[in-house]
Structure 1
């Protein structure tokens, strides 16, 4: 898994890390039981504070996407989405879709883009399947 961090970007670094790990899980690059780099290792690789990585990992833990253990570190886990995930997800999707509408993007283009993005997740898994 390759992570890219834009140190001068508008999106906070911890959020960039969290989002890229979520996308790697959705793409099948990270699967159940996959280990993530240690917080200090990842922080050193990017030249950032390890608390930033901790914050990203803690968000992922709270969202049920990883489990943290002193012996095994951060490991990807798959869990059934429980409240408040559905309402949180809907609120985030609503805001993103509102941005598209506010910028004048036609509804059919928004739907095509959403479908294209959904279709892209797991494409790596399909490519690896015989």
Structure 2
């Protein structure tokens, strides 16, 4: 798995890492049950603080994307790909709301937004950026 961190991005590093792992799951590159490196090992490979990796891992664990099994390791959750619960749907809708509001302020048309979404889904599923 290739991870690319942009240190000067407004997006926190732990979130960049978590988002890229989620993309790996969504693209099929990291199927359920796949092992991930230990926090210490991943941090060393990426040249970042171990606490940053641990923060990303705990964020993903809360979302049921990974499971951390003491003394065994970190794995993509068996239910990493699943149907969203109503609570998860509501959370995603709330997270999309400010993005859509900004898009409307920038006078993006509904068709443009739909095209952007479809293009992004194709990129994720194709594994390209």
Tell me if TM exceeds 0.5: yes
After TM superposition, what 4+ stretches of structure 1 lie above 4 angstroms from structure 2? none
Gaps of 5+ in 2: none
Matches within 5 A, 1:99-110: 99-110=102-113
Give the match for residue 63 of structure 2.
63
Shift of residue 74, structure 1, vs aligned partner: 1.2
Give the match for residue 89 of structure 2.
86
Give the match for residue 23 of structure 1.
23
Deviations 1:42-84 (A, max 9, x none): 1112222111111111011000111001233110122543353
Give the match for residue 128 of structure 1.
none
How many residue pairs align between the two structures? Answer: 124
Q: Distance in 2 between matches of 1:121 and 1:10?
A: 21
Deviations 1:69-124 (A, max 9, x none): 12331101225433532211111122222222222222211111112222344335
